[in-house]
Chains A and B, each alone.
Chain A
Amino acid sequence: MEKMSRVTTALGSSTISGRTMFCHLDAPANAISVCRDATQVVVAGRNIFKIYGLEEEQFVEKLNLRVGRKPSLNFSCADVMWHQMEENLLATAATNGAVVTWNLGKPSRNKQDQLFTEHKRTVNKVCFHPTEVYMLLSGSQDGYMKCFDLRKKESVSTFSGQSESVRDVQFSMKDYFTFAASFENGNVQLWDIRRPDRYERMFTAHTGPVFCCDWHPDDRGWLATGGRDKMVKVWDMTTNRAKEIYCVQTIASVARVKWRPERKWHLATCSMMVDHNIYVWDIRRPFIPFATFEEHKDVTTGIVWRHQHDPYFLLSGSKDSTLYQHMFKDASRPVDRANPEGLCFGLFGDLAFAAKESLISGDANRKPYPGGDRRYPIFFFKKPDLTEQFAHVSSALSVFESSLESKRMDWFVKTARLYLLSGKPFAELCDHNAKVAKELNRPQVSTTWTMLRIMFSDPANLSTPGPNHIGKLGTLPLMNSFSMKEMGMGTESRLDRSKGESRQDNIHLELGNSLINSNNDENEETEGSEGQAEYMFGDAELDDDDLYSMDMFFSLVFSAEEQEYTLPQEAFPLRHEIMDNPLAPEHLQQDKADSPQASGNEAEVMCLTPIESFSLISISQPLFSPHLPAPFFCPVVREMLSHYAEQGDVQMAVSVLIVLGDRIRKEIDDLTQEHWYMSYIDLLQRFELWNVSNEVIKLSTCSAITCLNQTSTTLHVNCSNCKRPMSNRGWICDRCHQCASVCAVCHHVVKGLFVWCQGCSHGGHLEHVKNWLKSSSHCPAGCGHLCEYT
């Protein structure tokens, strides 16, 4: 409160006090100004011109200066200023171009004193000299500034900005002779009042109009400007070239800017449009307002600090026809509501996290993370007066980087590069892709591919299984014992079961952490559970490694214990590896109901012979082929694809979609397909895999996707004859009806590739020219030029 007492002394006996209060005006205000002793405020607008007294609890209307039955346009004020030396003197700028002075000391009702009608357009601003009683400056839309001596009838000097309309003029607080003017074209000029012929200096401050400027009350070199480009800039004018030292970005064009008294870094702004609030900024903290006054319901048009040495009272007038006195202590502090936590992903998967110190240190369990845990504490030093400082926030910044994770997308890139999507028979594609997946250590994906191959291949093609399963063919006889009949039964029972339990099972498997329930289930029906496990994986021609990853399921066969032991491995795989889930529950259920021997419906090949803990031998056999047409599997595959897509592995979904082509396409609705394609293509392009993405686009069957290849591929051609652009077809000109490009060899129109000689500009069909130049080195058109074809 030391500050406060100082203010009090500065003000002498009349201490300012008051509260946040307002009063209704009869009409929207355009500008306000306050008299020197801070006891009265004048409000001016198109239809209002009044003086209000500032009392403890309220505004009191003191005087209505708008007199006369039919007030003239001279009363329609764009700006008003109360003289800071002479308390009876006011000046207004009228929208019709008049500058009017008013003398409150006049005895008559009409206080109008002088009328200057020298400006041709609206006067935007009037400004009294801070110390000279009789000096008044005006800036107008017509591009001129005029200096008036109030003892004379007309202006003493005229300053031509030589550019556009003047929006603001301000006398410097400290330099007696200097004033600044801001212009509609973005310039700010400094003038010496004694030299009307030329400005002292000029610089471009904003793009678009500079609506306002204000000299710093204490620091002589600082000028704040606000513009339509939504910026407030602070310029240091002491150097040779005006230097921008601070810049605050607001959310709307800045209509007024006023430095806050007694605070070096603070300024208040209000905006021209849209935003009705008044902001007080600390220019060193340009991203968040220091304080906000949110009372107005329409655009704030005038702001003024009540007293030039008191930073706690702000007056404002608005288009909503109210006049407010804001108390600084009642201002809202956006910083209090701001969220001091921040979270952001880096380019390589690093994660940065900033939070309040207190929050983070409170978390005792915070573990150091593998990639290293760096902390960058940021402190703002607290100063004694809390209300006058930005809230004290200290946050800790943590960056989590994971070397493991940073490589995480490698599999994606490699897979994208290595997958074959077309160009080979279906089975080979599947095999190839399975191999790729396996090499990248993604066994489940690999398995899926293999399964797909089996499901959809022609029986004939299937007879050549990949070399890696051959070794396990030992149990082949076993398989043969399965009968087709049983498969049929399996299907039915599966349906029954799925009603009851599929959901539950699904969850268990996906969570991978508590299979106990299902284990119990299974234990009760041991036989069933075994059977189920058997053939659910029987289909895959896996080698041991592959099977290993699937041990969750196999383990069901053996014992609950084993399951628990093996499950964790499944529980935390990369997410795309949980790929069998959609299939699994169905198998499970169906098996339970069935005899162990029952063959699963989807599982074509079934034979699991446990060898030691979890090695199974699976054999691919076209057992089902005569009875089960490929469409039989479509629902399953569809589910699988959706599952992959949901898991985020849209790559798999799209790849399978392309490879399966018509086999599956109709099963999935177009929108979904398109969505997958778009996501995959987007991903590919982010990884700059342009070729792959292009291939995918080409291979897709969605029209919305294939047309992606045709965007921005228009080539504009001009007619070689009349030089006009050929808008319609590339080979015939609409205007001169000449075929633009005729082949010099065959004299036909070239509608495709046209090759021409850079020397003589004759040319034709690529093939024709090529052939021609094999036999002759002269131009086929007969111009005699020796053409070269390279």
Chain B
Amino acid sequence: MSFSADSNSPNPFHMCNICQKVIRKKDKGVRVPRPFSSGPSAFIPKEEIVEASQVDPLTEQLLAEAYSPSGHVDHLTQVMGLHPHYLESFLHSQFYLLRMDGPLPLHCRHFIAIMAAARHQCSFLVSLHVREFYRMGVCLDWLKGLQYVPQRLRNLNEINKLLAHRPWLITKEHIQNLVKTGEHSWSLAELVHAVVILAHFHALASFVFGSGINPQVDTQNTNGFQAVYISNYCTCDLASDHHLDRDLSSSSPESSALLCVFQTTDSVSELEALMDRMKRLQEEREEDEASQEEMATRFEKEKKESLLVGSGELEDEVMPTSKVSQFVEDATFGYQDFARRGEDNPPTFRAQDYSWEDHGFSLVNRLYSDIGLLLDDKFRTACDLTYYNMASHEDVDTTMLRRALFNYVHCMYGIRYDDYDYGEVNQLLERSLKVYIKTVTCYPERTTRRMYDSYWRQFRHSEKVHVNLLLMEARMQAELLYALRAITRYMT
């Protein structure tokens, strides 16, 4: 435990620095939007979730009991339960990943999950899986930190780091290093399993932060270790606006102006405008076709523009909070834009050349049987999920909007669809939403309540959760595509 200094302090609650900062700020009278500290999510009022889950409480519970790692309905499941149809396939695949037959031993899987979640300092997932790991009852000293972990698992760090922050940098050499024969080598099947777990939990961390999942209040501090471990956590956690201070202090005049604009615009007309644009796009498509060259440049433009979104003021790297730091190596490695100005960019990933349906699936399913089917099902459910309504409007075809969200995430990761007009993204996704998307997918630990609130203010919370689901799946698929492409290249 790295708490030796703190644990002597008289303060019974160990607060992380950020929390203290926030509190100090509060004292100074700065108005901070108060997160919902009770209930599953800090962003979503408790009642909303409870209400939704009452429609079909039984299914959700049954599912959670059967498949969720904690064995009961945790906050994550509750929030995701706003979309029970998706929840089902999510839990199925997660259960298969963590519990069913697979090349990796069970405790390793949880440890890899911890490693993945720790990359984004997602203490919700880390503590969840620390608990699971503890329950396995083997190799407990791994929990003390990475240096206690066998070399083989530690070798996974490199790929974990890349996948989490800059998946486009993964090359077949990385795979080769892991797979080449030697004492600490991985078999391809194990590696694929690990990669899927990593991608799954990176993406899940996005969801956790994006939906502001509150930490699980723990009443089961029964066994010594767990008690120590968990009580050392400051429960403020993700619920807090712990980046807010930085946001406020460092926000450029431009972005604060932006905020003003949104505060003043009538949010109803905002929604109307979006609907309008969708309709117009639909019609436009039938008549006018953008010239081919322009299509190509639009992608580049969108890609470039994603740089401008929100990433400017991130020079001060957040050091991971100590509670997860023992699972992180090279903590300063963070997200960098795919397309950086004035540098040699890695080539664009053409979705038509390596798609999930054709290539990714075949490879994954070959090396780790059946996971392909489950992931396929999950991606499909996430992409096809629709209730045909937008905010208060019913019977709306949201395909275009969903596709824009999905493809925008891929665009930030440098994956391009030839058959998509990236001009649509620009029309459909407003700037505050883009900021949110970028934050949630690329550095989710910086998500704040304000970001969550600032876009689509007319929309229901369940719809925002839906957005999060799309972002999560898009991110997972993007990571998988890069990793699997590297594996394919290694194999050929």
**A residues whose Cβ falls under 8 Å from a Cβ of B:** 28, 46, 70, 72-74, 76, 78, 94-98, 117, 119-122, 141, 184, 208-209, 211, 228, 252-253, 272-274, 276, 297-299, 716, 724-725, 727-729, 734-735, 737
Is the beta-carbon distance between B366 and A252 smaller than 8 angstroms? yes
Is the beta-carbon distance between A274 and B353 smaller than 8 angstroms? no
Instruction: Name the residue of chain B whose CB is nearest to the CB of A70.
Output: B293
Is the beta-carbon distance between B492 and A299 smaller than 8 angstroms? yes
- Complex CA gap A141/B418 in Å reads 12
Contacts of B105 in A (CB 8 A): none
- Complex CA gap A276/B361 in Å reads 17
Contacts of A297 in B (CB 8 A): 492
Is the beta-carbon distance between B366 and A727 smaller than 8 angstroms? no
Contacts of A209 in B (CB 8 A): 357-358
A253-B358, A728-B222, A734-B220 known, 4 other contacts, Cβ within 8 Å: A95-B350, A253-B362, A272-B359, A724-B72
Contacts of A119 in B (CB 8 A): 419
Q: A73-B295, A273-B363, A725-B71 are in contact. Are A96 and B418 (CB under 8 A)?
A: yes
Is B292 in contact with chain A by the CB < 8 A criterion? yes
Q: Is chain A's binding surface mostly helix, strand, loop or mixed?
A: loop
Instruction: Name the residue of chain B whose CB is nearest to the CB of A185.
Output: B380
Contacts of B292 in A (CB 8 A): 72-74, 96, 98
Instruction: Name the residue of chain A whose CB is nearest to the CB of B360.
Output: A273
Is the beta-carbon distance between B289 and A117 smaller than 8 angstroms? yes
Is the beta-carbon distance between A73 and B296 smaller than 8 angstroms? yes
Q: A724-B72, A725-B65 are in contact. Are A95 and B352 (CB under 8 A)?
A: yes
Is the beta-carbon distance between A734 and B366 smaller than 8 angstroms? no
Q: A46-B350, A46-B352, A734-B219 are in contact. Are A228 and B361 (CB under 8 A)?
A: yes
Is B491 in contact with chain A by the CB < 8 A criterion? yes
Is B28 in contact with chain A by the CB < 8 A criterion? no
What are the 4 A-B residue pairs with the smallest beta carbon separation, nearest first? Answer: A72-B292, A95-B418, A273-B362, A96-B418
Contacts of A121 in B (CB 8 A): 419
Is B285 in contact with chain A by the CB < 8 A criterion? yes
- Complex CA gap A463/B10 in Å reads 73
Is the beta-carbon distance between A727 and B71 smaller than 8 angstroms? yes
Contacts of B417 in A (CB 8 A): 122
Is the beta-carbon distance between B72 and A252 smaller than 8 angstroms? no
Is the beta-carbon distance between A727 and B72 smaller than 8 angstroms? yes
Is the beta-carbon distance between B219 and A208 smaller than 8 angstroms? no
Contacts of B366 in A (CB 8 A): 252, 273-274
Contacts of A141 in B (CB 8 A): 419
Least Cβ–Cβ distance between B219 and chain A, in angstroms:
5
Residues 271 to 316 of chain B near chain A (Cβ within 8 Å) = 285, 289, 291-293, 295-296
Least Cβ–Cβ distance between A226 and chain B, in angstroms:
12
Contacts of B289 in A (CB 8 A): 117
Instruction: Name the residue of chain A whose CB is nearest to the CB of B354.
Output: A273
A-B contact pairs, 10 of them (CB 8 A): A72-B296, A74-B292, A78-B352, A96-B418, A209-B357, A274-B362, A274-B366, A274-B488, A735-B219, A737-B219
Contacts of B357 in A (CB 8 A): 184, 209, 228
Contacts of A72 in B (CB 8 A): 291-293, 296
Least Cβ–Cβ distance between B231 and chain A, in angstroms:
16
Per-residue CB contact flags for chain B residues 231-254 toward chain A (1 = under 8 Å, else 0) read: 000000000000000000000000
Least Cβ–Cβ distance between A724 and chain B, in angstroms:
6
Contacts of B285 in A (CB 8 A): 120
Interface centre among A95, A252, A729, by most chain B C-beta atoms within 10 angstroms, is A95
**B residues whose Cβ falls under 8 Å from a Cβ of A:** 65, 70-73, 219-220, 222, 285, 289, 291-293, 295-296, 350, 352-353, 357-359, 361-363, 366, 373, 376, 417-419, 488, 491-492
Q: A122-B352, A228-B362 are in contact. Are A727 and B70 (CB under 8 A)?
A: yes
Contacts of A94 in B (CB 8 A): 418
- Complex CA gap A72/B373 in Å reads 36
Contacts of B65 in A (CB 8 A): 716, 725
- Complex CA gap A718/B220 in Å reads 16
Least Cβ–Cβ distance between A430 and chain B, in angstroms:
38
Is the beta-carbon distance between B488 and A273 smaller than 8 angstroms? yes
- Complex CA gap A306/B366 in Å reads 32
Is the beta-carbon distance between A272 and B358 smaller than 8 angstroms? yes
Contacts of A76 in B (CB 8 A): 352, 418
Least Cβ–Cβ distance between B282 and chain A, in angstroms:
11
Q: Contacting B363 at CB < 8 Å: which of A73, A98, A274?
A: A274
Least Cβ–Cβ distance between A439 and chain B, in angstroms:
44
Least Cβ–Cβ distance between B346 and chain A, in angstroms:
17
Least Cβ–Cβ distance between B209 and chain A, in angstroms:
25
- Complex CA gap A696/B246 in Å reads 65
Instruction: Name the residue of chain B whose CB is nearest to the CB of A723.
Output: B61
Contacts of A46 in B (CB 8 A): 350, 352-353
Q: A73-B292, A208-B361 are in contact. Are A725 and B352 (CB under 8 A)?
A: no
- Complex CA gap A120/B424 in Å reads 13
Least Cβ–Cβ distance between B94 and chain A, in angstroms:
17
- Complex CA gap A273/B355 in Å reads 11
Is the beta-carbon distance between B419 and A725 smaller than 8 angstroms? no
Instruction: Name the residue of chain B whose CB is nearest to the CB of A727.
Output: B71
Instruction: Name the residue of chain A whose CB is nearest to the CB of B71.
Output: A727
Least Cβ–Cβ distance between B138 and chain A, in angstroms:
11
Is the beta-carbon distance between B362 and A97 smaller than 8 angstroms? no
Contacts of A727 in B (CB 8 A): 70-72, 220
- Complex CA gap A120/B366 in Å reads 32
Contacts of B295 in A (CB 8 A): 73, 96
Q: A96-B419, A121-B419 are in contact. Are A274 and B491 (CB under 8 A)?
A: yes
- Complex CA gap A184/B170 in Å reads 29
Is the beta-carbon distance between B362 and A252 smaller than 8 angstroms? yes
- Complex CA gap A95/B348 in Å reads 15
Least Cβ–Cβ distance between A26 and chain B, in angstroms:
16
- Complex CA gap A731/B363 in Å reads 47
Interface centre among B73, B295, B366, B419, by most chain A C-beta atoms within 10 angstroms, is B419
Least Cβ–Cβ distance between A216 and chain B, in angstroms:
25
Q: A46-B353, A96-B292, A209-B357 are in contact. Are A725 and B72 (CB under 8 A)?
A: yes
Contacts of A729 in B (CB 8 A): 222
Contacts of B222 in A (CB 8 A): 728-729
- Complex CA gap A70/B294 in Å reads 11
Contacts of A97 in B (CB 8 A): 418-419
- Complex CA gap A119/B419 in Å reads 9
Least Cβ–Cβ distance between A726 and chain B, in angstroms:
9
- Complex CA gap A97/B488 in Å reads 27
Is the beta-carbon distance between A73 and B72 smaller than 8 angstroms? no
Least Cβ–Cβ distance between A17 and chain B, in angstroms:
33
Is the beta-carbon distance between B419 and A122 smaller than 8 angstroms? yes
Least Cβ–Cβ distance between B28 and chain A, in angstroms:
39
- Complex CA gap A521/B219 in Å reads 80
Instruction: Name the residue of chain A whose CB is nearest to the CB of B296.
Output: A73
Contacts of A728 in B (CB 8 A): 220, 222
Least Cβ–Cβ distance between A575 and chain B, in angstroms:
36
Instruction: Name the residue of chain A whose CB is nearest to the CB of B353.
Output: A46
- Complex CA gap A184/B361 in Å reads 13
Least Cβ–Cβ distance between A91 and chain B, in angstroms:
17
